[in-house]
Amino acid sequence: MKKGSFIYQYLFNPRTVGAVRPSSGFLSNKMVEGIKYKDTKYIVEYGPGTGVFTEKILERRNKETLVVVIESNQAFYQVLKKKFNNVRNLIIIFGSAEHIEQYLKEYNIPYVDYIISGLPFASLPQNVSKEILSNTLKVLKTGGEFVTFQYTKVKIPFLRNYFPNITVNREFRNIPPAYILHCKL
């Protein structure tokens, strides 16, 4: 079993790796299909894992759009660095989404149009989830969108404390099936 595999990372880091395998192409497509790529300047991805959502974003984005991915798992960070080596307008950060404001300041990014999240809010400590979502609200532009997925609906009431307008879709072809949450202010 490789250190960079989802199953290995899930077994040894179950609080921060929420699945035993990467998301399916079906889920990946649904996560990024609502992005208005033509007019988008900045996209951030929280918890990209091995980069399945990142690939979809990079395929569809306007080439001038800056994409920032933030990964807290060292093994996945190394996978991302190798996989996306020399990709233009992509910043890969080893760190926590809690510090999104700091990262944006470092790179002179004034706001974010979309935040795509693969974070397992159901298993993250409550205080970490609160910090991430509070800081997300500070950097997301007016009219911006936070898109995440979860395997259950248990965290939707918690997310509504930050985003009163949440549209829920389902992707049954993912293993396990997932809820896609499009969150707006």
Flag whether 7 is in a domain.
no
* Averaged pLDDT, 55-62: 97
Answer whether residue 13 is part of any domain: no
What confidence tier does 142 reach under pLDDT thresholds 50, 70, 90?
very high
Residue 134 has which token pair?
A: 């509070």
Residue 51 belongs to a domain: yes
The predicted pLDDT at position 25 comes to 84
Average pLDDT, the chain: 90
Pairwise pLDDT comparison (62 vs 10), residue with the higher score: 62
Closest CA to 180 of 153, 154, 143, 158: 153
- CA 7 to chain CA centroid, Å, is 19
Report how far residue 82's alpha carbon sits from residue 43's, in angstroms, rounded to the nearest whole number.
20
Least confident of 8-22, 31-45, 167-181: 8-22
Q: What does the pLDDT look like over 146-155, one tens digit per residue?
A: 999 999 999 9
What is the mean pLDDT of the segment spanning 48-61? Answer: 96
Q: Determine phi and psi for 22, rounding to 5 degrees.
A: -65, 160
What angle separates helix 25-32 from helix 52-60, to the nearest 10 degrees? 50
Within-domain flag for 6: no
Q: How many separate domains does the chain show?
A: 1
Report percent pLDDT > 90 for the chain. Answer: 84
Could you read off the pLDDT of 155-171 as tens digits, one per residue?
999 999 999 999 999 99
Q: Is the pLDDT of residue 5 over 80?
A: no
Any idea what the CATH number is for the domain that residue 74 is in?
3.40.50.150
12 lies in some domain: no
Domain residue limits at 99: 24-184
